[in-house]
Amino acid sequence: MNVKKMTLMQKRALVGLSFVLPWLLGFIFLFATPLLQSVQFSMSKLSVAPGGYSLDFIGLENFKQALYVDANFNRILTESVATMVWNVPMILFFSLFSAVMLNQHFKGRTAARAIFFLPVILASGAIASAETAGLISMTGSSEVAKELGQMQSGFDTMGLVMMLDSTGFPEWFIDYIVDGTVRIYEIIRSSGVQILIFLAALQSVPPAMYEVAKMEGATGYESFWKITFPMVSPLILTNIIYTIIDSFTNSPVTQTIYETAFSSQDFGLSAAMSWLYTLVVAIVLVVIGVLVSRKVFYYN
């Protein structure tokens, strides 16, 4: 019996399916039912009863209330999207810059990589809560603890502003750089995963390309823009998508949705807000994905 060998494309498809299969099984058996229920909740008035809950179908009233009646949802959603647009380029630039530096050969490179990823661990919910609780126990006040936390990241920006202003940069660019400098810890905390992804991309670049470029007399600057940047561009798209999704994880939008459900006990309105938020994120991802994918270079 002759067994037909799989082609290279079929093998790649099988490998891709093996990576997607755990997520697919988890989605079907764990998330599909709650997802459909949230659609049902968003179009109903949910009333909690001793034996469970009851649903009264009201159509799109919850969506109308979220968009036209609620005084805060539109503002919070718009501000969250604007903050995301402001933060994503900053995080990507820092991640790529750090990955290029950490990809160089120097002593202590492994320790340096661990240090850059350490803020991701320190920013976890348990450690952040313990840090806040420790400040509160020492100061006796949550407000004082918050002020102390803000003072730790204080930075005198006047010298930086004067230096950038003397170079003739536009005001919006100066504000962008100063804001990134002031929030450097927040940027580092949000860049750990992206740095690892960029490091994996940089290590997959064939060294022969740099050797040929060096023999041809290319400078480091030219090698970066002609070799490094095009070769890691597929992972730039991946990091953009990851950063956008991650920026909404603990945003004011999700906090508003949570409070609407469990504080106000308005589960129908909360489900409608969740779907509106999901729709906005999906539109942002599609638009940015289409625009960025046109510039992506795929090396075969």
Write down the domain spans for the chain. Answer: 46-293
Q: Rounded distance, CA 73 to CA 71, Å?
A: 6
pLDDT tens profile 32-84: 888 898 888 888 888 777 777 788 888 888 898 888 888 788 888 888 888 88
Structure-derived torsion over alpha carbons of residues 251, 90, 229, 203, reported in degrees to the nearest 10:
-70
Half-sphere exposure of 148 (CA within 13 A, CB side): 15
Q: Rounded distance, CA 290 to CA 46, Å?
A: 38
pLDDT of residue 227: 87
> Full-prediction pTM beyond 0.75?
no
C-alpha closest to that of 149 among 161, 133, 164, 172: 133
Assess whether pLDDT exceeds 80 at residue 298: no
pLDDT of residue 126: 47
pLDDT of residue 53: 77
End-to-end CA distance of the chain: 35
Name the 3-class secondary structure at 219.
coil
Q: How many residues does the chain have?
A: 300
Name the 3-class secondary structure at 245.
helix
Helix and strand numbers (H, E) in the chain are 16, 2
pLDDT tens profile 115-172: 766 766 665 554 555 544 554 455 444 444 445 444 544 556 666 667 666 777 777 7
pLDDT tens profile 236-294: 888 998 888 888 777 888 888 888 888 878 888 888 999 998 899 899 889 988 888 88
Q: Rounded distance, CA 228 to CA 189, Å?
A: 25
Q: Rounded distance, CA 67 to CA 71, Å?
A: 9
For helices 73-102 and 252-262, give the axis angle rounded to 10 degrees.
130
Tokens of 77: 């959603």
Dmax over CA atoms of the chain, in Å, equals 80
The DSSP code sequence of 263-275 is TS--HHHHHHHHH
Torsional class of 59: left (φ above 0), alpha (ψ -120 to 50), beta (otherwise): left
For the domain covering 46-293, report its CATH number. Answer: 1.10.3720.10
Return the residue matching tokens 């805060």. Answer: 72
150: enclosing H helix or E strand: helix 142-152
- Burial zone of 28 (CB within 10 Å; 0-12 exposed, 13-18 middle, 19+ buried): exposed
Tokens of 220: 């480091």
Average pLDDT, integer, range 163-184: 73
Q: Which residues of 98-125 are buried (b: 16+ CB within 10 A; e: fewer)?
A: bbbebbeeeeeeeeebeebbebbeebee
